[in-house]
Chain A
Amino acid sequence: MNLSDSAAAQPQIGMMFLLFTLSVLLTGGLFALATGRAARISSAIGAITSALGGMLGCCAGVQALCASAPLRFDAAWHVPFGSFSLLCDPLAGVFLLAASALTALAGVYGHGYFASWRGKKPLGVLWCCFNLLTASMLVVITARNAVLFLVAWEVMTLVSFALVVFEHEDSSARDAGLTYLIAAHVGTACLLAMFIVLGQSSGSLDLAQMGVAGRLAGLVFVLAVAGFGTKAGFMPLHVWLPDAHPAASSPVSAVMSGVMIKTGIYGILRVLGMLGEPAPWWGWLLIGIGAVSGVLGVLFALAQHDLKRLLAYHSVENIGIIALGMGLGVLGRAEGMPDLAALGMAGALLHVINHAVFKGLLFLGVGAVAQASGTRNIERLGGLLPRMRGTALCFLIGAAAIAGLPPLNGFVSEFLIFLGAFKGAGSTVQLMAAALAVIVSLALIGGLASACFAKAFGIVFLGAPRSAAAAGARECCALMRAPMMVLAAVCVVIGAAAPWAVRALSPAIAQASGTAPEALVIAAAPLYWIALCAAALIVLLLVVALARKLSRAGKPTGQQVTWDCGYAAPTAKMQCTASSFAQPLLDLFYAVLRTRRDEDLPRGLFPVHARLHTHTPDLVRVRLLTPVVRRAYALMRRLRVVQHGRLQLYILYIVVTVVALLLWKLR
């Protein structure tokens, strides 16, 4: 695609915005680093610059979405095969928007969150890494040169690794960081191969000119899924994710889970754009991955007791949903069904935005909770709602949204994917099978997710506090609440204004699905009904609430302890715990979860002590990764016999080598 003429016609305001964003972020990071000694100042600089940069980035993203032709920028960059060329097409715009908006809010939140670290930890380094992370993400999203992309990609990995191991004094953070680093690097190896194959077959490392067809295309696609999927957290490549997110500090995990892992999705979409007409099995692959990641992700989330770990597994689940959408889109393209393609991609892209919003919101909320109560263990929390009203409300909205409940944004994107699936289900048998897989997994995911967040919100915020720490919790500062409020508001707005949101994304969707925007407009018409119903629901809520108010006017209201079969002195320990809440579901899926329980059951007539603790280790890590790694290490230890320490042996190697070479080469 040749942009030069159209680009020349375009006023490149958006690109200016982008470049300005990058410079702001970098300078801000450096200044924060330089003023590291004065924690307050450097923290302020970091937060302000990241917020400012985020806003500018949003402008750039909007510009890219609206612009009639892609924005571009080219500058010489003196490294082998490298050029500093950026490209802002609508697809990039979507991710730009999500990334910048979330990082801006996380930055503001961080200023409040890290206040307690001043003087204890090198905040300058932290903020520098944070801004670098944002900048590298933006470059990854807009890079048009493979080398630039790879460099930004690895820088992103490095700084996010630094942020994950920032609290490296505890070993879990270290190991989490290492797992992340290694997984990311293995992924990058695939990307190296992929880009070089692409570059070889298209004769340039310019992403806008890359293209490949035939059997190579399949190889490239698989490499892309492996390489980008590791970052995105497809099962079974997700191993790093449930460890890394809890290890990082909350604003960072919000950014990582909200947008950084989405760069993997972006990469896959970008590469799909280069591969021309997809083969059906690509769609099948994506749907398979999506179903597995979605269902298993939410199941493992249900089994967790650490709030952040739970959210991390939900990221796997949501990535799965996105993959389902992409799979439908690819199938639609392969089978020549534009409406299916459009709906699938629309669902995927909208869910990218939505997940960024509510997952960011939830991680920020967890950060507030953890800071207020000093623990992330669900079993030790409870009764926080009256203590942290604002946080609780935001968290509730986020929970409802991620559970895909109307009238919030999570429902809209899932609904779009459902619509696409119906289009498929009405068609050939193969398509119907695919659609059925999508529908079933989406339905399951919906139910499980709402169960999981009923647990998360209910046990954490409701009932009576289960520990002194939770009882002493206080609401967090305004700087931390404001971003959550904003995100919660966005959840509602996107949910209520679904059709308009989709229309705003339509250029990107059209680009990703290779269809005309009209196809989408027709296919997504039901969204107007959804919006209507959302409005109706809100009205109904008000009406019913009013009715309740009227009916209770002037009636007596009593206070009592909770009814416990007449046992009049309930204690917090009697409450339903997270484990017992999830237990029936977990038992149902024991086959995959393999939940380990250590318990001592009450014995005797007057049991004094009883205890139940359940722990669900990651399936892939326990069953696959650890044994393989152990075997490999054992094997290598055996191979080391070569370096035996005997001089004579060493010289024998030389002799054998020379003789062998002579015999081999002089034949």
Chain B
Amino acid sequence: MTAWIDIIMVTLMLANLLVLGSSRLSACTRIVAVQGVAAGVLPLLLGPQHRTMGAAVLVAITILLRGLVFPVLVFRALRVARVRREVEMYVSQPLSILLGIGLLACSCWVSSRLPLPSPAPSPLMLPVALCTALTGLLVIVSRVKAVSQVLGYLMLEIGIAVFGTAALPEQPLLVELGVLLDAFVAVFVMGIMIFHISREFDHIDTDDLDELADWTPDAEQPK
């Protein structure tokens, strides 16, 4: 079993790097979907005592949502908003890949400081989970388009889910449900918002969304 888990972990990690490296939104979306599915099957691999009916249903839902619903939603958003396909980023791809590696190192360090009460099924799980979450944040921070931020958010949730399954194999149900709720809601609402944004600004580059600020290079002298 551990072998399978490790494989999945490696997949997740690779997916992170791919997302950071890829230059097309659609590719990113697919990668994130794959990542989601991969993370979704984890509960079944935790051990025989976890292969219950509930777990199976849960996994099914997860895979359905992450593998099908979310990508569909995102693609629809892309289509409706007529987004250009390139990822636009503040940080160049090589640099962001390097950052991704750095994040992995960081999460390894943190997880070394956080000994799990009972050892995780695979030593890789904790670092990869944290790393995925951090990568998600990195994507949110370093990408321009609103859609990429949704994707980053999804990766963040996937990371959290993996962490949950790693750290608390007892109540995977709770964890997954929470995560799914969060992710679903987020994607749903953000999808709506993206439609509105595209309606208002007829594109979804968030760099036009900086009208509200307290800093202007030539602020007039107060008082």
Q: Name which of B61-69, B77-85, B136-144 contacts chain A.
A: B136-144
Using known A-B contacts A643-B214, A645-B211, A648-B206, determine if residue A666 contacts B114 with beta carbons closer than 8 Å.
yes
Which residues does chain A contribute within 8 Å of B110, judged by CB atoms?
Answer: 662, 666
A605 at the interface (CB under 8 A from B): no
Which residues does chain A contribute within 8 Å of B223, judged by CB atoms?
Answer: 629-630, 633
B219 at the interface (CB under 8 A from A): yes
Contact partner of B113 among A648, A651, A652, A666, CB < 8 A? Answer: A666
What is the CA–CA distance of A641 and B218 in the complex, to the nearest angstrom? 12
Cβ-defined contact, B210 with A644, below 8 A: yes
Chain B 196-223 interface residues, beta-carbon cutoff 8 Å to A: 206-207, 209-215, 219, 221-223
Contact partner of B141 among A640, A642, A651, A666, CB < 8 A? Answer: A651
Contact partner of A645 among B134, B149, B212, CB < 8 A? Answer: B212
Cβ-defined contact, A646 with B215, below 8 A: no
Contact partner of A643 among B140, B206, B209, B213, CB < 8 A? Answer: B213
Which residues does chain A contribute within 8 Å of B210, judged by CB atoms?
Answer: 644-647
B8 at the interface (CB under 8 A from A): no
Which residues does chain A contribute within 8 Å of B213, judged by CB atoms?
Answer: 643-645
Which residues does chain B contribute within 8 Å of A642, judged by CB atoms?
Answer: 215
Which residues does chain A contribute within 8 Å of B168, judged by CB atoms?
Answer: none
Interface size of B as a range? 20 to 34
Which residues does chain A contribute within 8 Å of B219, judged by CB atoms?
Answer: 637, 640
Residue of A nearest to B210 (CB): A645
Cβ-defined contact, B113 with A641, below 8 A: no
A469 at the interface (CB under 8 A from B): no
Residue of B nearest to A637 (CB): B219
A433 at the interface (CB under 8 A from B): no
Using known A-B contacts A633-B222, A637-B219, A659-B106, determine if residue A647 contacts B209 with beta carbons closer than 8 Å.
yes
Chain B 121-144 interface residues, beta-carbon cutoff 8 Å to A: 134, 137-138, 140-144
Which residues does chain A contribute within 8 Å of B221, judged by CB atoms?
Answer: 630, 633
Residue of B nearest to A636 (CB): B222
Which residues does chain B contribute within 8 Å of A646, judged by CB atoms?
Answer: 207, 210
Main secondary structure of the interface of A (DSSP, over half): helix
Cβ-defined contact, B207 with A651, below 8 A: no
What is the CA–CA distance of A655 and B134 in the complex, to the nearest angstrom? 8
What is the CA–CA distance of A651 and B141 in the complex, to the nearest angstrom? 6
Cβ-defined contact, A655 with B141, below 8 A: yes
Which residues does chain B contribute within 8 Å of A659, judged by CB atoms?
Answer: 106
Cβ-defined contact, A641 with B215, below 8 A: yes
What is the CA–CA distance of A652 and B219 in the complex, to the nearest angstrom? 25
Cβ-defined contact, B215 with A643, below 8 A: yes
Which residues does chain B contribute within 8 Å of A649, judged by CB atoms?
Answer: 141
Contact partner of A648 among B106, B140, B214, B222, CB < 8 A? Answer: B140
Cβ-defined contact, A648 with B114, below 8 A: no
Interface size of A as a range? 20 to 34
What is the CA–CA distance of A652 and B213 in the complex, to the nearest angstrom? 16
Which residues does chain B contribute within 8 Å of A645, judged by CB atoms?
Answer: 209-213, 215
Residue of A nearest to B211 (CB): A645
Cβ-defined contact, A648 with B142, below 8 A: yes
What is the CA–CA distance of A654 and B142 in the complex, to the nearest angstrom? 14
Which residues does chain B contribute within 8 Å of A637, judged by CB atoms?
Answer: 219, 222
Cβ-defined contact, B206 with A640, below 8 A: no
What is the CA–CA distance of A369 and B44 in the complex, to the nearest angstrom? 96
Query: How far is the CB of A424 from the nearest CB of chain B, in Å?
Result: 46
Which residues does chain A contribute within 8 Å of B206, judged by CB atoms?
Answer: 647-648
Cβ-defined contact, B215 with A648, below 8 A: no
What is the CA–CA distance of A119 and B207 in the complex, to the nearest angstrom? 57
The winner among A630, A645, A654, A655 for most chain B CB atoms within 10 A is A645
Which residues does chain A contribute within 8 Å of B222, judged by CB atoms?
Answer: 633, 637
Residue of B nearest to A175 (CB): B223
What is the CA–CA distance of A655 and B223 in the complex, to the nearest angstrom? 36
The winner among A645, A648, A655 for most chain B CB atoms within 10 A is A648
B88-115 interface bits toward A, Cβ cutoff 8 Å, 1 = contact, 0 = none: 0010000000000000001000100110
Chain A 614-649 interface residues, beta-carbon cutoff 8 Å to B: 629-630, 633, 637, 640-649
What is the CA–CA distance of A643 and B142 in the complex, to the nearest angstrom? 18
What is the CA–CA distance of A241 and B99 in the complex, to the nearest angstrom? 60
Cβ-defined contact, B215 with A651, below 8 A: no
What is the CA–CA distance of A44 and B148 in the complex, to the nearest angstrom? 73
Query: How far is the CB of A653 from the nearest CB of chain B, in Å?
Result: 10
A212-245 interface bits toward B, Cβ cutoff 8 Å, 1 = contact, 0 = none: 0000000000000000000000000000000000
A71-103 interface bits toward B, Cβ cutoff 8 Å, 1 = contact, 0 = none: 000000000000000000000000000000000
B145-173 interface bits toward A, Cβ cutoff 8 Å, 1 = contact, 0 = none: 00001000000000000000000000000
What is the CA–CA distance of A28 and B212 in the complex, to the nearest angstrom? 50
Query: How far is the CB of B159 from the nearest CB of chain A, in Å?
Result: 13
Query: How far is the CB of A171 from the nearest CB of chain B, in Å?
Result: 13
Which residues does chain A contribute within 8 Å of B212, judged by CB atoms?
Answer: 645
What is the CA–CA distance of A544 and B27 in the complex, to the nearest angstrom? 113
Which residues does chain B contribute within 8 Å of A643, judged by CB atoms?
Answer: 213-215
Which residues does chain B contribute within 8 Å of A655, judged by CB atoms?
Answer: 134, 137-138, 141
Query: How far is the CB of B105 from the nearest CB of chain A, in Å?
Result: 12
Residue of A nearest to B143 (CB): A648
Cβ-defined contact, B214 with A652, below 8 A: no
Which residues does chain B contribute within 8 Å of A648, judged by CB atoms?
Answer: 90, 140-144, 206
Residue of B nearest to A646 (CB): B210
Query: How far is the CB of A398 from the nearest CB of chain B, in Å?
Result: 38
Which residues does chain B contribute within 8 Å of A654, judged by CB atoms?
Answer: 137
Residue of A nearest to B146 (CB): A647
What is the CA–CA distance of A644 and B143 in the complex, to the nearest angstrom? 17
Cβ-defined contact, B211 with A651, below 8 A: no
What is the CA–CA distance of A643 and B211 in the complex, to the nearest angstrom? 11
Chain A 236-270 interface residues, beta-carbon cutoff 8 Å to B: none
Which residues does chain A contribute within 8 Å of B113, judged by CB atoms?
Answer: 666
What is the CA–CA distance of A647 and B205 in the complex, to the nearest angstrom? 11
What is the CA–CA distance of A652 and B140 in the complex, to the nearest angstrom? 9
Residue of A nearest to B90 (CB): A648
CB<8 Å pairs between A and B, sample of 10: A633-B221, A633-B222, A633-B223, A637-B219, A640-B215, A643-B214, A644-B213, A646-B207, A646-B210, A655-B134
Residues of B whose CB lies within 8 Å of any CB of A are 90, 106, 110, 113-114, 134, 137-138, 140-144, 149, 206-207, 209-215, 219, 221-223
